[in-house]
Amino acid sequence: MAVRVASTIVDLHESLADPRTGGRRIALVPTMGAIHDGHLGLVETAREHGDFVAASVFVNPTQFGPDEDFERYPRDLDRDVDLLASAGVDVVFAPDIETMYPPGTESVMVDPGPLGQVLEGEFRPTHFRGVLTVVAKLFALLRPSAAIFGEKDYQQLVLVRHLVRSLHLGVDVVGRPIVRDDDGLAKSSRNVYLSDAERKAALALSHALREGADAAVGGTDAVLRAANGVLDAAGDVGLDYLALTDAELGDPAPGEPARLLVAARVGATRLIDNLGFDLPADTKRAT
């Protein structure tokens, strides 16, 4: 069956034909478009978790700050639909802003809590409020049994899982590992903004993460020293943060899974990346 494109809620419901009553499990891949291999990998995972795959294409204005790139964010719906269809998506939901935020409802938002104010939240104070609000809307409209998110936006993944647990939404939130180019750069829709020189400089992010992970045997201080050393030596990289956490973004602990996260500006483009690894049991906490 050819992919169906729905732009309104009525269109969406007709496209889904109420699969809940037909026993089909919907797996949802939320996107903002500008589809790349990372998104197509999410679709692949979605097919493993549902009988019917839906993808949303919606550039969500509430997760952009006033000085961010909402207006210039790459948009090409025809291309996105073609790529999603080739990956096996059954329906693409591509609403306009008024559909997702009907007049008079703009002030109804989801509060992400304290975890939404650290790391990305410190630099983008309203970002996760917008993310969780639009995710909650998509879950309400599509009623998926599973939703697939990339680990590149790791804090987002953790917060969406908190959202589901807190509001008893009954959605299995599945994370898929980061897809990288051959040179190690994490796939991102914003990579198109990078010049050739900036793209080369941006490789410092993934290099720093690998160096940090390789230094884990020396403890958390060693992880951060190694990663910071790479970033300090890089040109055209303005660091926003480098943080070592546990899997839930709390304090890292020896013998437990850890996550090293970085955000930086390369030229005028802001990029994020992260890497998960285990801290050896005999390491010491950073002080």
CATH number reported for the structural domain that contains residue 215 in this entry: 3.30.1300.10
Q: Tell me the two tokens of residue 62.
A: 């509430």
Residues 154, 74 within the same domain: yes
pLDDT band at 287 (very low <50, low <70, confident <90, very high): very low
DSSP alpha helix (H) spans, the chain: 9-16, 19-22, 37-49, 77-86, 97-100, 120-123, 127-142, 154-167, 196-214, 220-233
Per-residue pLDDT of 214-266, as tens digits, reads: 999 999 999 999 999 999 999 889 999 999 999 999 999 999 999 999 999 99
Quote the CA–CA distance of 260 and 249 in Å, as a whole number.
10
Question: What CATH number did the domain enclosing 12 receive?
Answer: 3.40.50.620
**pLDDT, tens digit, 9 for 90 and up, residues 154-184:** 999 999 999 999 999 999 999 999 999 999 9
Q: For residue 67, what pLDDT is reported?
A: 86
Q: What percent of the chain has pLDDT over 90?
A: 91
DSSP one-letter code for 101 = S
> Is the same domain home to 17 and 153?
yes
The model's pLDDT over 100-131, given as tens digits with 9 standing for 90+, comes to: 999 988 889 999 999 999 999 999 999 999 99
Q: What is the DSSP string of 30-74?
A: EE-S---HHHHHHHHHHHHH-SEEEEEE---GGGS-TTSSTTTS-
Domain stops at, among 176, 197, 217: 176
Mean pLDDT of the chain: 94
Same domain, 15 and 41: yes
3-state secondary structure of 140: helix
User: In DSSP terms, which residues pair with 178 in a beta bridge?
Assistant: none
Let me know whether 168 and 234 are in one domain.
no
| Structure-model confidence comparison of residues 19 and 2, the more confident one | 2
Task: For residue 285, name the pLDDT band (cuts at 50, 70, 90).
Answer: very low
Q: Which domain holds residue 101?
A: 4-176
Count up the domains in the chain and report the number.
2
**% of the chain residues with pLDDT over 70:** 96
Q: Of 154, 176, 198, which residue is a domain's last?
A: 176
Is residue 102 domain-resident? yes
| 219 & 154 share domain | no
Please indicate, yes or no, whether residues 166 and 229 belong to a single structural domain of this protein.
no
Burial of 33 (0-12, 13-18, 19+ CB in 10 A): buried
Do 168 and 250 lie in one domain? The reply is no
Residue 286 maps to a domain: no
Beta bridge partners of 147: 28, 173
pLDDT in tens, 202-228: 999 999 999 999 999 999 999 999 999
In a domain, 183, yes or no: no
Domain limit, last residue, from 176, 209, 229 = 176
Do 199 and 126 share a structural domain? no
Pick the more confident residue, 287 or 120. 120
With respect to residue 116, please indicate whether it lies within any of the assigned structural domains.
Answer: yes
Q: Which of 36, 39, 162, 207 is the catalytic position?
A: 39
Put simply, whether the predicted model's pTM sits higher than 0.85 gets the answer: yes
Q: Are residues 52 and 170 in the same domain?
A: yes
Q: Are residues 43 and 128 in the same domain?
A: yes
Using the predicted structure, report yes or no on whether residue 274 has a pLDDT greater than 70: yes
- Are residues 161 and 213 both part of a single domain? no
Q: How confident is the model at residue 21 (pLDDT cuts 50, 70, 90)?
A: very low
Q: Do 19 and 147 belong together in one domain?
A: yes
The yes-or-no answer on residue 49 being catalytic is: no
Of the listed ranges 3-17, 19-33, 100-114, 218-232, the least confidently predicted one is: 19-33
